[in-house]
Amino acid sequence: MKVKRDFSIKNKPDMLPLIDVVFLLLVFFIYAMLSMSYHNGIRLELPESAQAEHMEETTELIVSVEADGRVFMGKEEVALPELGARVARYFEGKTKKQVILSGHKELSYQNLFHVMDTIREAGVCDIALQAEVAKP
């Protein structure tokens, strides 16, 4: 004797592998964004300091100076004589004027102070020097 079935089996897609893939993509993009937003300036070998501490990424402008004396505003190279005018134009109309000055660890002290004086002449008094945390 044959038994009659009144229902049919429907295939449903399994959601667990789809959720796994979505979470993997989410983690990948989070790590990618964190690595891209770490630093707005150029990469330098910074001097080390035992007193260095982490600053929040709320600064307006990053000025970097290479070991050979080349100056960068963000990632754009700027000649030192026109740095003051460019910084003044950048902060025109803004109330918060803050600059992070990062210099290569092989840069002479005099060159770093020359760049700092140029920034101060442009009207920016809040200048922070960037350094790496010293490794014990």
- Compute the distance between CA of residue 100 and CA of residue 39 in angstroms, rounded to an integer: 11
Task: Characterize the bridge pairing of strands 71-73 and 76-78.
Answer: antiparallel
Domains recognised in the chain with CATH numbers: 48-133 (3.30.420.270)
**pLDDT tens digits along 23-79:** 999 999 888 877 665 455 666 556 666 665 655 555 578 888 998 889 998 888 999
Record the pTM: 0.58
Question: Distances in Å between the alpha carbon of 121 and those of 9, 74, 87, 128?
Answer: 79, 19, 10, 16
Helix ranges (DSSP H) in the chain? 16-36, 80-90, 109-121
**pLDDT tens digits along 100-130:** 888 888 888 888 889 999 999 988 888 888 7
